[in-house]
Structures are given as structure tokens and as C-alpha cells.
């Protein structure tokens, strides 16, 4: 979920992708919330994607959909 205002500033955005390891945790917050809050950590893989910037003529909503 993105907030439109974050893309209206004209700044470079560095998107990340997060993949949770199902062996250690489940990402359904309502079921696993207590276990997540009391655990030492959450195991996940994080990828830093190429920086993106709003192109001329592109709206903030289009950029958010593009990065999604």
C-alpha cells in the first residue's frame, strides 16, 4: 500500500521487496501478531531495487502503480 503524497515530492524513490520466510513466521498479522511482537526477530529476505523517479507527464498514482 502506497501513499500518493510520497510520490508527489519529485524525490528519487528506492523501492524494496520483502519476502518473509514461511518457516519462521506467517505474515497474517491478526493470527501471528502476539508471536511476532514477542519474537527476537523476523526472518526475511530484502532486495533493494533500482531507484526510480517520476517521469515527465507521469502522475504520482501512475508511479505508485508502476512500482507496485
Of 45, 68, 44, 55, give the one whose Cα is nearest residue 10.
Answer: 55
Of 19, 16, 18, 25, give the one whose Cα is nearest residue 50.
Answer: 16
- pLDDT (tens digit, 9 = 90+) per residue, 8-67? 787 888 889 888 777 766 656 666 677 767 777 777 889 999 998 888 888 888 888 877
Examine residue 8 and state whether it is found in any structural domain, yes or no.
no
Question: Model pTM greater than 0.75?
Answer: no
Examine residue 1 and state whether it is found in any structural domain, yes or no.
no
Contact 7, 60 (CB under 8 A): yes
Give the chain's domain count. Answer: 1
Provide the residue range defining the domain that includes 63.
13-67
Examine residue 50 and state whether it is found in any structural domain, yes or no.
yes
Examine residue 21 and state whether it is found in any structural domain, yes or no.
yes
Count of CB atoms situated within 10 Å of the CB of 55: 9
Tally helices (H) and strands (E) across the chain.
2, 2
Amino acid at each position: 500500500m502506497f501513499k500518493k503524497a510520497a510520490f508527489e515530492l519529485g524525490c528519487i524513490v528506492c523501492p524494496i521487496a520483502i519476502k518473509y520466510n514461511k518457516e519462521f513466521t506467517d505474515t497474517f498479522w491478526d493470527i501471528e501478531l502476539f508471536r511476532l511482537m514477542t519474537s527476537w526477530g523476523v526472518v526475511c529476505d530484502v532486495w533493494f531495487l533500482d531507484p526510480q523517479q517520476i517521469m515527465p507527464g507521469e502522475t504520482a498514482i501512475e508511479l505508485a502503480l508502476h512500482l507496485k
